[in-house]
């Protein structure tokens, strides 16, 4: 469990990543709060892209944007093929999927007990 100040910083970062992803025409963008459920990560951001080119391009943009907000990508996976890209920012992990991979792995079902953060602006 991380201190409340760090938790809020991580939540704000996850929401900012979700907004940026949504602005790049991804669908079904979800932010899950895993605080207290997973010792390795506090928040998951999950989104569906339309192509491997889109997921790779947005992944690069997210890594650059993260540096401006004080977050560094600890790890990256799947960037070569772009069908499922994982970006690990330690307290926040971003998953960019093509639709068939998202359906197959169904992370929302896996983390069904997680609270969903309402990040969309009305």
Confidence (pLDDT) at 121: 60
CA dist 97 and 7 (Å) reads 25
What does pLDDT average to in each consecutive run of 10 residues of the chain (122 residues)?
Answer: 84 96 96 87 95 95 93 91 94 96 93 90 50
- Domains for the chain: give ranges and CATH numbers: 4-117 (3.30.460.10)
Alpha helices in the chain (DSSP H): 4-23, 52-68, 99-105, 107-110
Confidence (pLDDT) at 122: 39
Confidence (pLDDT) at 1: 61
Q: Is beta strand 75-77 parallel, antiparallel or unpaired with respect to 115-117?
A: unpaired
Confidence (pLDDT) at 2: 74
Place of tokens 């309402």: 118
CA dist 7 and 117 (Å) reads 13
Q: pTM for the full model?
A: 0.93
């Amino acid at each position: 469990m991380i201190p409340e100040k760090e938790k809020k910083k991580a939540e704000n970062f996850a929401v900012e990543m979700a907004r940026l992803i949504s602005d790049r025409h991804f669908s079904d963008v979800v932010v899950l709060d895993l605080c207290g459920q997973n010792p390795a990560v506090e928040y998951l951001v999950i989104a569906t892209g339309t192509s491997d080119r889109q997921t790779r391009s947005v992944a690069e943009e997210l890594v650059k944007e993260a540096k401006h907000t004080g977050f560094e990508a600890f790890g990256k996976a799947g960037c070569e093929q772009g069908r499922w890209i994982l970006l690990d920012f330690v307290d926040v992990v971003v998953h960019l999927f093509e639709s068939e991979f998202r359906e197959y792995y169904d992370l929302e079902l896996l983390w069904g007990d997680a609270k969903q953060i309402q990040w969309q602006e009305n």
